[in-house]
């Protein structure tokens, strides 16, 4: 039986190391997984890379429900574990899995009809739109794998387990390396392969494998000990609690991906190269944000358990420690991203125009990576305090209104061209960060006595 870790005692720094490092390593392999897809799409051509970029944006809108379910499970079950309410934690966990199954079925139907229309919004007629649409329709088979894996991982994280998902992500990466060339190019003299669609099939197979693995790991934990079939039956009260915690996070992620659609809408007027450059540059950006994702992901279960236990000083200090460790990494990462961006872009494409546009994005992005880090930490902090609705409003400003408004100003009024899109994104992120600091302090005053309060708990060291 796997152990449930008590995050309400002991060194916060040690908890961050034990949770964040495996999570970050797992995300490294998830990002490398996506990099493999971009690489093989590049072997097919620029149109394939552009098709991958637009289909990814559309597909991600639907798996935002998986991110929301994951955060809801970590916050609700983590609070219950911290308060020593084991029976409540077990029931919420079981019903959360059943809720995930229902969500997955509904999303597959909705995405079949809505997905192709979304792709039309951010593309022009031609080869890359057709490729992106085909890719998306195949990828829909992976929706249950993503949504349920995320939800189950939230339950594992609530117990202090970030290793299981890491192992699944590593295995999926190596599976993708083997499946992509086989399914795309086939076996010479035997089978011609599936072309671009083969990348989608590889994702379906590998992500379904992750889902199966993490579910098996979950049922070996203390949390699921004694669970019966009746625990999984739907119950409106529990579903309501999950939905209230899930929807703000889902909508925040949804708005975030909507920002991608806004960006793609403007980029399509600058040609296929601009669309492809943005898709490649996003993958490069993710590589530098991986430790941040690990840190801020670790903050959620740490803060959730301690909030449930009433250890408000530890909740507060966990946020500050997350920022401190994040700044230490950014001091190294930002200069590397700025100066190495041409080399990083050339790794995925030899199209000089794609490289030029991608470099312009990454160099501006290098200045705002620390702001992303602080924003993500505040989101985890608000979710742990069971106030996720604020993450939605911050995201709605930053990723919808802010991006649309500032990009319009820089592109349409000041005629900055593609550079105006990048500067607009940076302006929206910076102003959103300032707003999030105000919100975090406001919520903290009502929930834990404020952010800037003298530390009294000796165990926060």
Task: For 140-166, give the secondary structure using H, E and C.
Answer: HHHHHHHHHHHHHHHHHHHCCCCHHHH
- How would DSSP label each residue in 81-144? HHTT-HHHHHHHHHHHHHHHHHHHHHHHHHHHHHHHHHHHHT--SSHHHHHHHHHHHHHGGGHH
Average pLDDT over residues 184-206: 89
Asked whether residue 66 carries a pLDDT value surpassing 80, the answer given is: yes
> Is residue 179 within 8 Å of residue 206, measured between CB atoms?
yes
Q: What confidence score (pLDDT) does residue 448 get?
A: 93
Q: Which of 72-76, 225-229, 358-362 has the lowest mean pLDDT?
A: 225-229
Average pLDDT over residues 422-433: 94
Q: What confidence score (pLDDT) does residue 348 get?
A: 79
Q: What confidence score (pLDDT) does residue 3 get?
A: 57
Average pLDDT over residues 246-256: 79
The predicted-structure confidence for 308-343, as pLDDT tens digits, reads as follows 899 999 999 999 999 999 999 999 999 999 999 999
Q: What confidence score (pLDDT) does residue 124 get?
A: 74
How many residues comprise the chain? 461
Q: Which residues contact 246 (CB under 8 A, 6 or more apart)?
A: 65, 68, 69, 71, 72
Residue 454 pLDDT level (bands cut at 50, 70, 90): very low
Q: What is the DSSP letter of 2?
A: B
Where b means 16+ CB within 10 Å and e means fewer, 244-283 reads ebbbbbbbbbbbbbbbbbbbbebbbebebbbbbbbbbbbb
Q: Which of 226-235, 247-256, 287-296, 356-365 has the lowest mean pLDDT?
A: 247-256
Average pLDDT over residues 24-52: 81
Q: What is the DSSP letter of 221?
A: B
Nearest to 134 by CA among 257, 35, 48: 48
Q: Which residues contact 277 (CB under 8 A, 6 or more apart)?
A: 345, 353, 354, 355, 356, 357, 358, 361
Q: What confidence score (pLDDT) does residue 453 get?
A: 65
Residue 460 pLDDT level (bands cut at 50, 70, 90): very low
Dist. CA 270–CA 443, nearest whole Å: 42
Nearest to 408 by CA among 388, 394, 427: 427
Dist. CA 407–CA 424, nearest whole Å: 4
Burial class (CB in 10 A: 0-12, 13-18, 19+), 293: buried
Nearest to 422 by CA among 373, 367, 364: 364
Residue 461 pLDDT level (bands cut at 50, 70, 90): very low
Residue 254 pLDDT level (bands cut at 50, 70, 90): confident
The predicted-structure confidence for 86-126, as pLDDT tens digits, reads as follows 889 999 999 999 999 999 999 999 999 998 888 887 677 77
Nearest to 59 by CA among 131, 142, 126: 142
The predicted-structure confidence for 1-11, as pLDDT tens digits, reads as follows 455 678 888 99
pTM of the model: 0.72
Which helix (H) or strand (E) is 52 found in, with range? helix 46-82
Q: What confidence score (pLDDT) does residue 385 get?
A: 92
The predicted-structure confidence for 151-171, as pLDDT tens digits, reads as follows 999 999 888 888 898 899 899
Average pLDDT over residues 133-140: 89
Residue 402 pLDDT level (bands cut at 50, 70, 90): very high
Q: What confidence score (pLDDT) does residue 191 get?
A: 87
Radius of gyration of the chain (CA): 22
Residue whose token pair is 């358990």: 305
So where are the chain's domains?
12-455
């Amino acid at each position: 039986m796997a152990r449930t870790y008590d995050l309400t005692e002991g060194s916060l720094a040690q908890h961050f190391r034990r949770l964040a490092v495996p999570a970050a390593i797992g995300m490294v392999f998830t990002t490398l997984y996506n990099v493999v897809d971009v690489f093989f799409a590049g072997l097919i051509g620029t149109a394939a890379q552009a098709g991958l970029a637009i289909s990814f944006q559309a597909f991600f809108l639907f798996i935002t429900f998986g991110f929301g379910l994951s955060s809801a499970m970590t916050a609700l079950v983590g609070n219950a574990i911290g308060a020593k309410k084991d029976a409540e934690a077990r029931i919420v966990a079981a019903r959360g899995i059943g809720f995930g199954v229902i969500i997955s079925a509904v999303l597959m139907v909705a995405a079949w009809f809505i997905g192709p229309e979304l792709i039309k919004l951010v593309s022009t007629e031609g080869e890359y739109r057709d490729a992106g649409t085909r890719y998306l329709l195949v990828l829909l088979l992976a929706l249950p794998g993503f949504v349920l894996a995320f939800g189950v991982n939230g339950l594992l994280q609530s117990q202090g387990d970030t290793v299981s998902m890491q192992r699944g992500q590593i295995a999926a990466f190596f599976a993708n390396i083997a499946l992509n060339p086989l399914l795309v190019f086939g076996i010479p003299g035997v089978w011609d392969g599936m072309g671009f669609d083969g990348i989608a099939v590889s994702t379906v197979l590998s992500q379904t494998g992750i889902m199966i693995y993490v579910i098996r790991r979950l049922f070996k934990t203390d949390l699921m000990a004694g669970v019966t079939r009746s625990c999984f039956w739907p119950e409106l009260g529990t579903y309501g609690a999950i939905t209230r915690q899930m929807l703000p996070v889902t909508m925040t992620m949804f708005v975030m991906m909507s920002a991608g659609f806004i960006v793609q809408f403007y980029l399509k007027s600058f040609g296929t190269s601009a669309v492809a450059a943005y898709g490649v540059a996003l993958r490069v950006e993710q590589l530098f944000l991986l430790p941040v994702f690990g840190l801020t992901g670790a903050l959620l279960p740490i803060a959730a358990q301690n909030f449930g236990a009433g250890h408000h000083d530890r909740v507060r200090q966990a946020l500050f420690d997350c920022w401190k460790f994040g700044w230490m990494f950014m001091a190294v990462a930002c200069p590397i991203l700025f100066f190495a961006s041409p080399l990083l872009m050339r790794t995925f494409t030899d199209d000089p125009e794609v490289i030029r546009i991608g470099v312009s994005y990454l160099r501006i992005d290098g200045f705002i990576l620390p702001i992303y880090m602080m924003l993500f930490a505040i989101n985890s902090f608000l979710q742990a305090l069971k106030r996720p609705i604020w993450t939605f409003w911050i995201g709605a400003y930053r990723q919808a209104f802010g991006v649309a408004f500032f990009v319009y100003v820089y592109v349409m009024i000041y005629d900055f061209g593609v550079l105006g899109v990048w500067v607009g994104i940076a302006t929206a992120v910076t102003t959103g960060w300032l707003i999030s600091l105000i919100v975090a302090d406001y919520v903290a005053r009502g929930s834990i006595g404020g952010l800037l309060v003298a530390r009294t708990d000796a165990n926060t060291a």
